[in-house]
Amino acid sequence: MAAKATKKVTTKETFTLQWNGNDASFDQIRSRVLEKCGKASKDIKNLEIYVKPEEGMAYYVINETETGDVGIF
């Protein structure tokens, strides 16, 4: 008897930061980081992003060596 094939379920996830009437999605913040650092996604092995909405900033660490910040709103 052949095993029944199982259908893979894909989950869509959304992350949106709302602060003082402003909105920023994770994708927007990530895009700003990549644009500022000038790296392609394929060149990044490790990306850490720390969001501080009270400052309107996101701070990042790329590949454990390169750091910087971007505005989130």
- pLDDT tens digits, residue range 16-60? 999 999 999 999 999 999 999 887 778 899 999 999 999 999 999
Q: 12 lies in a domain?
A: no
CA separation for the pair 49, 58 (Å, rounded): 6
In a domain, 30, yes or no: yes
Establish how many alpha carbons lie within 13 A of residue 16's alpha carbon, considering only the half-sphere containing its beta carbon: 5
CA dist., res. 1 & res. 55, Å (int): 61
- According to the model, what pLDDT value does residue 35 have? 93
Q: Model pTM greater than 0.85?
A: no
Domain membership of residue 4 (yes or no) is: no
The confidence band for 7, taking pLDDT boundaries of 50, 70 and 90, is confident
Supply the Cα-derived Rg of the chain in whole angstroms. Answer: 17
Number of domains in the chain: 1
Residue 29 domain flag: yes
3-state class (DSSP) for residue 41: helix
**Measured distance CA(22)–CA(11) in Å, rounded:** 26
Domain interval for residue 61: 20-71
